[in-house]
Amino acid sequence: MKIVEVRHPLIQHKLGLMRRAGVSTKDFRELATEVAALLTYEATKDLETAEETIQGWAGPLQVHRIKGKKITIVPILRAGLGMLPGVLDMIPSAKVSVVGVQRDEATLQPVAYYEKLSGRMDQRIALIVDPMLATAGTLIAAVDMLKAAGCTRIKGLFLVAAPEGLARIEAAHPDIEIYTASVDERLNEQGYILPGLGDAGDKIFGTK
Ligand code: PRP
Ligand code: URA
């Protein structure tokens, strides 16, 4: 499985600001948006382009346009919504497929509760966005949904991933690609990533 830890100085700097205890909702949201945009830049490096001739200011010239499969962004409710604006900043015409998966706080098992996908998923590249890849239960459930709808090209963008979750997703879905700003140390007994970000959904929405 392709796992890319994007160790760009801008990403590392912004992620460091997000890790501060007491970070404000405003700062956390803005930084999540910025890091999501930078991860999108990295995750779309291999998109196919085709040459076409246009009329430029000084005459005809060859330019490149993205071709091939169209992108659908897949935010996982609820915290994935915090990364959606950053990805849309980079790919403003992308369709958005929303999936709702929540992990049960006691069992850590994923519970799928919502699915509204773009049409023709077999012809799209799915960019899943979720700040946290912890046990990977949520991601596995989301990928199962996308594959059931015919999607064959899936990438996941995460702010922070745990080694345990990466091993699980690799076993379950080795054909997907993962882009993360950091592979952190481990999970704690409650399934939270250490050092991690705490509860990313609560920080994005200002709850708790
Ligand atoms: C968080 C996070 C991921 C999931 C990761 O969401 O945004 O979706 O947990 O955990 P896992 O890898 O162990 O499945 P949560 O279920 O807390 O819901 P929320 O987005 O509504 O806050
Ligand atoms: N969900 C979060 O929001 N944070 C974690 O560390 C793990 C799951």
Whole-number Å distance, alpha carbon 200 to ligand 2 midpoint, is 6
Q: Answer yes or no: are the C-beta atoms of 102 and 110 closer than 8 Å.
A: yes
Give residue 69's pLDDT. Answer: 81
Give residue 146's pLDDT. Answer: 98
Can you say whether the dihedral through the CA atoms of 150, 93, 38, 197 is positive or negative?
negative
How much is the average pLDDT of 94-114?
93
Q: Which residues contact 7 (CB under 8 A, 6 or more apart)?
A: none
As for the ipTM of the complex, it is 0.98
Q: Is 94 assigned to a binding site?
A: no
Q: Is 19 assigned to a binding site?
A: no
How much is the average pLDDT of 56-72?
95
Indicate the number of domains in the chain.
1
Range of the domain at 180: 2-205
> Rounded distance, CA 130 to CA 110, Å?
14
Whole-number Å distance, alpha carbon 132 to ligand 1 midpoint, is 6
Q: Is 44 assigned to a binding site?
A: no
Would the CB of 156 count as within 6 Å of ligand 1?
Answer: no
Q: What is the CATH number of the domain that holds 36?
A: 3.40.50.2020
User: For residue range 162-175, what is the model confidence (pLDDT) as tens digits?
Assistant: 999 999 999 999 99
Question: Using a 6 Å CB cutoff, which residues line ligand 2?
Answer: 132, 134, 191-193, 196, 199-201
CB atoms near residue 113 (< 10 Å): 10
Q: Which residues contact 181 (CB under 8 A, 6 or more apart)?
A: 5, 6, 11, 12, 14, 15, 35, 38, 39, 158, 159, 160
Full-model pTM:
0.96
Choose one of 81, 132, 182 to mutate for the ligand 2 pocket test, by most ligand atoms within 8 angstroms of C-beta. Answer: 132
User: For residue range 109-144, what is the model confidence (pLDDT) as tens digits?
Assistant: 999 999 999 999 999 999 999 999 999 999 999 999
